[in-house]
Amino acid sequence: MPGSNLTRVEAQERKAIITYPIEYTVDLDLTQGPKTFVSTSTIRFGAHAGESTFLDLIADSVESVTVNGETLDVNEVFDDDRIDLNNLKEHNEVVVKAVCRYSTTGEGLHRSVDPSDGNVYLYSQFEVPDARRVYAVFDQPDLKATFKFSVKAPQSWTVLSNMPVESTEDLADLTADGTLAGKPAESTKLWHFATTPTMSSYLTAICAGPYAAWHTTYENEDGRTVPMSQYCRQALKDAFAKDVDYLFDITKKGFAFYAKTWGVPYPYAKYDQIYVPEYNAGAMENIGLVTIRDSYVFESKVTDALAERRVVTVLHELAHMWFGDYVTMKWWNDLWLNESFAEFTSTLATAEATDWKDAWATFCSGEKSWALAQDQLSTTHPIVAPINDLNDTYVNFDGITYAKGASVLKQLVAYVGRERFFEGISHYLNRHAYSNATLNDLLDELEATSGRDLKTWSAKWLEQAGINTISTAVQADADGKITSLTLTQAAPTEFPVLRPHRLAVGFYDEDPQTGKIVRTDRIELDVDGEHTTVAQAAGKAKPSLLLANDDDLTYTKLRFDDDSLAFAMANLYRFDDALARAVIWLSLWDMTRDGELAATDFIDTTLKMLGTETESTTFRYALAMLSTTVWHYTDAKQRNRIAKHVASELFALAKQAKAGSDEQFQLVSAYLTYGVEGDSEFADTVRGLLSGSLVFEGLELDNNFRWSIMHALASINAIKQADIDAELKRRDTTENREFAVGTRASLHSKESKDWAFDQALHNDELTNSQLGEVARGFSGTHDADLADGYVDAYFEAIDWIWKNKTFHMSEVLIGDLYPAYADPAKLVEAGDRWLAAHQDADNALLRMVKANVEASHRTRMVSDFNASIGESAR
């Protein structure tokens, strides 16, 4: 509806009418029952007298609206998620009382019931524009205001907001029956919070429930003592207690690193981090109250990659306290000012202030590979993206805004110099403190400190979409001395822009003492235009491998000279440096998905690398892209044979891996995803893991690993629904209910897939996390014949989904229900037909569907390429 989908023009018009100061007093009553709560908002603001505008509010009902003392007819002023405000005065007070609904989708005020103990947990998620699901508000980032919250809640709960508690009142009232999931009614308590500094509405937050808590303090660089707390569900407190001190330490290291790096101490009154269930994102940077998905509370063994990702996430959200919170973009086209900076600086802090020293290799393998894939879709967009409305914003929380933006910032640091870059950032933060800023505001400060022309740089890097390719060409004389080294830059025809790069060319050879491949020389230079001659290379010995973009300083695709490519494929596993391995491997993967490198060659190179790789995220993504190559890019006629071969190799590598190691855990977990119905050997092996008759020393059969095994057995129809029910009965928790519905959806039969498809679309009792598990379980079959049967049903459902589901749930369904393992020719035909018939559909919807269909176009292209070269590639 237009009222829900605020346009940029409407936001600009409202901004022109409203004047400062803007003050909110928000009173919430969370004691009324399990479905709804009462919200009363008092908004005081200035305006140009005689003008009209509107408040945003998504509510079940509005009980009353009072404007400047006059009670208005709700039916006349509230419609389409907006409250009309007409004939405003120079100074105004609006009071809105409404009944709002708890969500189970992670939007607005989410309500979760933990089945293990019956406890209820509430938390808010307001980005992009979901504060309006909890209180009446001018819900756009450039109408910053102060907020004062009061919350009535059960006596036994902890209630948190952006600011410290100012006072509490014990009340004689009782909660409504059912508020605590059937527990007896109890007395209530009123919590009053201190007034916030000036801030954007999407950064306000409320969390409430019987959370377990831990506390400490930080001696801030400005002399203040900042209270710090961490919270989680009671059911997770024992597991979380093992990591709390470590996570406090990581956070404190982040405080110190950021304050030193850009010269601005942490600006807010407190810093709480609360781990919450059923979250629809990774985390959210609410001022002083960061919410984080509680899958980051580790009850079972996890990969080192996930453990590192938790550290990066903690530091990412902390970085937002400056980038996004202290200084906020004016409109969502500058979302990158929040996300790219947080992603870049959190990786920098992880690498330089924690024990995760290979964080840039992690970034290359994980985040950058995400960006490269999205930047080669027709749906790509500039980092500074055109945002016409809120739906455009939703779909820009993507690999371009996060990963490409962060990679380009790393390039900008190399381009202007680190010291001058952060000097400019310090000026930017101080000049725009507690207010809003734009791209030009940032560039002005960086130009002043660096002396570089960054308007031209920005026009090519931030305001144009697409990715360049840099190829290396080298010639040498009879003595092996380089006579010429040329870097050639190319651009895709749809985005024909050549960019300036500051990069390094690395020379790599074998160290005769260790047998490792090491860097023996490095040349750093500016690259601009189509051809760049590396003059400093002339006369140097030609190395075994020349690596353009050594140290991963810039954002580009790479193509090697012939000798370097052959050497990389034969020796990748011997490279000593984790970042060099990541850059080379990502380039080989990119060539594979472009149909320039045989799938079987990529598979063989990756399997060999997995025997020695120790950087966990590179290991994880190598396994993931190996799977994509096997199941999508190989010759379809050879696919099952290749898959069985890869599964056998993974199992052999797992047996050779160090007992209890991350590599062992990842290899066995990956092996479990290679099941094909009718493979009795696979079934017997997996059953042996579950029963304990097959044991990998050091590999514990813990809760999550048991569910991985159950999922593997379901995928080949080696268990029944009763087995899934029995496994859930062993331990009925929030997480295990998600695993259980996902495992049921994975059962390899039409009956199970029909059930999963229907549940995903029509079971409104599923939480957002359960919905995601069901959708992924449905679409995760390797059986093309089974998946083919749902191609038409999927495309027929899209319009209904878009009309009847919230944006986040639509995104999950349209993305995860896509039957990607179906015959790509059928997916392409049906997808192209749908797109041709929906040329006028909402841009956000088109972007989701195009991403799926274009992936199938690529699958067909690459699979056909590998079929055409046959076994000659091996």
Q: Which residues are designated catalytic?
A: 317
Judge whether 349 and 377 are in contact, CB under 8 Å. no
Rounded distance, CA 801 to CA 201, Å?
Answer: 28
Judge contact between 108 and 100, C-beta under 8 A: yes
Q: Which two tokens stand for residue 779?
A: 């679409």
**Cβ–Cβ under 8 Å, residues 724 and 740:** yes
Looking at 747-806, list the stretches that DSSP marks H as alpha helix, in order from N- to C-terminal side.
Answer: 750-762, 768-779, 784-788, 791-804
CA 810: distance to chain centroid? 17
Q: Which tokens is 522 given?
A: 């490095």
Alpha helices in 43-94 (DSSP H): 74-77
| Residues linked to residue 103 through DSSP beta bridges, in sequence order | 110
Dihedral (CA of 475, 477, 482, 484) sign: negative
Say if CB 401 and CB 409 are below 8 A apart.
no
DSSP state of 414: H
Burial class (CB in 10 A: 0-12, 13-18, 19+), 158: middle
CA 348 to chain centre: 18
CA–CA dist 185, 187 (Å, integer): 7
**Cα torsion for 128, 132, 136, 139, to the nearest 10°?**
20
Query: Residue 528 in contact with residue 500, Cβ under 8 Å?
Result: yes
DSSP 170: E
Q: Comparing C-alpha atoms, which of 380, 499, 384 is closest to residue 439?
A: 384
d(CA 390, CA 808): 12
Using alpha carbons, list the distances in angstroms from residue 193 to 45, 100, 151, 206, 622: 21, 21, 9, 11, 48
Residue that is written with structure tokens 């002083």 in the block: 288
- Matching residue, tokens 């805004």: 401
Alpha helices in 149-221 (DSSP H): none
SS3 string, 335-358, reads CHHHHHHHHHHHHHHHHHHCCCCC
Q: Which residues of 203-228 are buried (b: 16+ CB within 10 A; e: fewer)?
A: bbbbbbbbbbebeeebebeeeeebeb
C-alpha triplet 485, 489, 494: angle, nearest 5°: 165
Rounded Cα–Cα distance for residues 62 and 363 (Å): 47
Whether 555 contacts 408, CB under 8 Å: yes
The structure tokens listed for 555 are 């954002």
849 in the Ramachandran plot: left (φ > 0), alpha (ψ -120 to 50) or beta? alpha
For Cα atoms 457, 459, 461, give the angle at the middle one, nearest 5 degrees.
65
Backbone region of residue 158 per phi and psi (left: phi > 0; alpha: psi in -120 to 50; beta: other values): beta
Q: Give the side-chain half-sphere CA count within 13 A for 460.
A: 17
Nearest to 497 by CA among 380, 638, 332: 380
**Residue 867: strand, helix, or coil:** helix
481: which DSSP letter? B
Tokens representing 643 are: 């898959």
- In this structure, what are the phi and psi dihedrals at residue 722, rounded to the nearest 5 degrees? -60, -35
Angle between helices 843-869 and 807-816 (to 10 degrees): 10
Distance, CA of 134 to CA of 300 (rounded, Å): 35
